[in-house]
Amino acid sequence: MHAPSRPWPARGGPVRSPSDPLLSRLPFETQRFLVKGGLPPYDELALGFELERGLSLVASKGREYVRIGTDGANDIVVSPDTGEVASIPDTCYINSSVSQLAEFLLLVRNAALAPSRSEDEARTRLDALIATMKLGDPRALATPGAWWSQVVADWAQQM
């Protein structure tokens, strides 16, 4: 998988100030992605990325993270040590990087734009989406309790 290269509309987008002091605490690839492309708004999953307002430092379970957004109930954060994306306060793994998160969101958005004509077709598309996600970031779906594992389980249950 590759990181999306297009700018995102509305509330998403890149970090407004490349001189944000918290940006320098993140791994270089994370910094570069957040400054050049940013993250999309994605209301269907109740995610909000308002990077143009600046980053903030949050703590959970004795560790510090850089907050990049919210899922409506929890903060979405990046580990300064690894670049991994998680939701806190439960430290629930989301993706291995912000570029991987953006790729997953793009995959989900594209899948949502192509409505299914039947339950079988919907199941086939969900299976294909899951297979693609597993190739891009296996841990996002293989880790019990991971954020994407929960989202996919919810989708499967709704079918």
How do residues 107-137 score in pLDDT, each as one tens digit?
887 777 677 788 888 888 888 989 999 999 9
Alpha-carbon dihedral 8, 70, 53, 28, rounded to 10 degrees: -70
Is the predicted pLDDT of residue 12 greater than 60, yes or no?
no
Q: Tell me, what's the pLDDT at 113?
A: 64
Helix (H) or strand (E) holding 69: strand 63-70
pTM of the full structure: 0.82
**Which sequence spans correspond to the domains of the chain?**
23-158
> Which positions ≥6 away from 9 have C-beta within 8 Å?
40, 41
> What is the C-alpha to C-alpha distance for residues 30 and 12, in angstroms, rounded to an integer?
16
Alpha-carbon distance of 130 to 127, in angstroms, equals: 5
The pLDDT of 2-31, averaged and rounded, is 64
Give per-residue pLDDT as tens, 36-86: 877 776 656 767 777 767 788 998 988 999 998 888 888 999 999 999 999
pLDDT category, 7, cuts 50, 70, 90?
A: very low
Read off the pLDDT of each residue in 142-158 and give the average, rounded to a whole number: 84
CB 100 within 8 A of CB 140: yes
User: pLDDT averaged over the chain?
Assistant: 81
**Structure confidence by residue, pLDDT tens digits, 76-87:** 999 999 999 999
pLDDT score for 95:
95
Confidence of residue 13 (pLDDT cuts 50, 70, 90): low
Using the predicted structure, report yes or no on whether residue 151 has a pLDDT greater than 50: yes
Please state the rounded mean pLDDT for residues 85-96.
Answer: 91
